[in-house]
Structures are given as C-alpha cells and as structure tokens.
Amino acid sequence: MANHRFSPVSEGEQPCCDISRKAQICLCVVLSLLVLVIIAVVTAILMWPRSPPNHKEWQGSGTTAHFGDIVLGRCYTYTQIVRPELRDKDCQKIQEVFLKSFLSKDPCDATEQDYQPLIELANQTVPCNKTVFWSKTKELAHQYTRVQQALFTLENTLLGYIADDLSWCGDSGSSEINYQSCPTRRDNCSSNPVSVFWNTVSKRFAEDACGVVHVVLNGSLNEAFDRRSTFGRVEIHNLHPKKVHTLQAWVMHDIGGVRSDSCSSSSIRDLKSIISERNITFTCQNNYRPVRFLQCVKNPEHPSCTSGI
C-alpha cells in the first residue's frame, strides 16, 4: 500500500518504470562499452605495425633507405648548387621517372629501355676534351675532377651524381620499393636494375664523349686494364672514332704500393690494340703528375713525393 501511496506513477502509466530505467541504464552501459570496443579495435588495426610486403629474397642488400628522398635531394643539390646551369631540370619529374623505371618490374629482367625516359630527362652535354673514365681508381679520379672542375667523370654528371653508391629494386608482383633485398650477379641475375643502369649510363657517357678523353687506371693491380670491367666491356667500345680522336691513359701507382702494372705491360698493350683498331689514337703515362700531386698531398713525406716525382 505504502508503495502505491508514494509511487510517482500517474494514472494510466505502466507501473514498471523502475525496471525500464534500469534497462535504459544497462543499455547505455552496453552501448558505451560497444563503442569503446569498436574504437579500441579500429585503433589497434591502424596502429598495428604493418608487416613488410612479401618480396622475393635476394642476396644483395635492399634498396637504400629513403631512396626517393635521396634522389630528389641529390637532384636539387646538383641542379641548384653544383651545376646551376641545369637549374631548369624538373627534379620531381626525374624522381618520378627514376622510380617508374624499376617499380612493378621483374628485378632480374631490367633493360636499357627501362632507363631511356630517365636518360632523356636528365640529358646533359659534357664539353669535348673533358671526359674522364676510371677503372678501380674511383676515389683518385674523383679527387682529381674535384680540383679540375671543368672535367667530368660519370659521377660528375647529373645521373651519375644522383645514383652513385645507391642500391634499388622493385618487384613484378608489387608496386612497392623492395627495401629488404635486391638481386646481384651472385643471384645469377646480371640484368638487375643497378647493373643495367650503370651499363646504360656508362654507354651513353662514352657515346657522348668527344675530342681527347682520359682514363685513370690502377697500376698497383696485376692488370691495370680489365676487359671485364665497365670501362673495358662498355665504355671503350662505345667511343665514336669520328668524335673521339685520342684516349689518354694515366696508369697510377698507389704511394707505397706495388708497381705491378704500367704503360708497357701486357694489359695496357691489350687496351692499346682495342683502341687502335677502332681508329682512335692511344697514349699512356705512368703516374701522371697532376694526379700524382694529389696522392702526395696525402703522403707528403713519402720518398717518391719528396725527391722530384
């Protein structure tokens, strides 16, 4: 009776309001929990570390981290600071076309054609008499062209500058860069994107050369000239005899190192005969003085540097 007397239920209303309110509260709690669970699940899915795409595994190291950014950054550095005469090159486009040349493709079946659009886009003229090839003398050749800024190795051109020391590859089954591993000749894959790139740009670099061209060779190796090197396999065969009249070889010996090979050795005779057959004049100098001076800057006390080199 007391319940009846104090009940707030007015006439005609269901006397079950207490239960209904409890049910409402319960429903609210359940709904809130549901929303929380959904938020938690969505957050977990979004935050979960994504496993890298399943690329094929190769023996070489994967694409250089931040490859795209490095390509873009080097392109701007070269075109705005190193050679501002190329300031109108479109670096965004060069980056895009570089990526397109190897992404979504079989990394064991790269071709010269893959790089043609990139080569056209980065097209650059090296003046006659200023081309410097090198083989097993990368550091020395670059020390020399750093001082003699009018001279160009391949790495002193835009494309060589952008790609030097980088590694890259994609995958035919994915449009992503493979940062895990890239194929090399050890994978029985000589047509990998990096080798084909260097073969293609080295060929173009040689085709474009004119006048007197130079090569820095390493006379502290058993064979200063190696037919299997890029210089021996690609560059010398793509010099145009109508444009290039002389190849000047500089055979450099490491300071304090052995003098195993020189201008009179059989490997250099081999080079001379290939060049002469192509109707290009061949000259050779051991320890070309301007380059020797650079070696001596690092070894000023060495007898070969103090007693009139």
Positions marked active-site = 128, 210
Interface with ligand 2NF, residue 136, by CB under 6 A: yes
CA 241 to each of CA 123, 206, 211: distance values in angstroms, whole numbers, following the listed order: 22, 11, 10
Q: How far is the CB of 305 from ligand 2NF (least distance, A)?
A: 25
Amino acid at 292: R
Distance separating alpha carbons of residues 309 and 294, to the nearest angstrom: 12
Closest CB 133 distance from ligand 2NF, rounded Å: 4
Strand pairing report for 211-218 and 244-252:
parallel
Q: How far is the CB of 218 from ligand 2NF (least distance, A)?
A: 8
Closer CB to ligand 2NF, residue 143 or residue 195? 195
* CA–CA gap between residue 214 and residue 291 (Å, rounded): 12
Does residue 154 touch ligand 2NF according to CB under 6 A? yes
Q: According to the binding rule CB under 6 A, does residue 208 interact with ligand 2NF?
A: no
Is position 145 an interface residue for ligand 2NF (rule: CB under 6 A)?
no
Under the criterion CB under 6 A, does residue 198 sit at the interface with ligand 2NF?
Answer: yes
* Minimum CB–partner distance for residue 292 and ligand 2NF (Å): 20
Residues in Cβ contact with 112 at an 8 Å cutoff, skipping those fewer than 6 apart: 196, 199, 200, 203
Residues in the chain: 309
Q: How far apart are CA 56 and CA 107, in angstroms?
A: 10
171 or 235, CB closer to ligand 2NF?
A: 235
How many C-beta atoms surround the C-beta of residue 257 within 10 A? Answer: 13
| Only segment of 4-12, 29-37, 72-80, 134-142 that touches ligand 2NF (CB under 6 A) | 134-142
The interface mask with ligand 2NF, positions 114-133, x = CB under 6 A, is -------------------x
Is residue 158 a contact partner of residue 75, using CB atoms and an 8 Å limit? yes
Name the 3-class secondary structure at 262. Answer: coil
CB of 198 to ligand 2NF, least distance (A): 4
Q: Which position among 96, 112, 155, 254 is part of the footprint of ligand 2NF (CB under 6 A)?
A: 155
Residue 78: DSSP 8-state: I
Q: Which residues of the shown chain bind ligand 2NF in the complex (CB under 6 A)?
A: 133-136, 138, 153-155, 164, 195, 198, 202, 229-231, 235
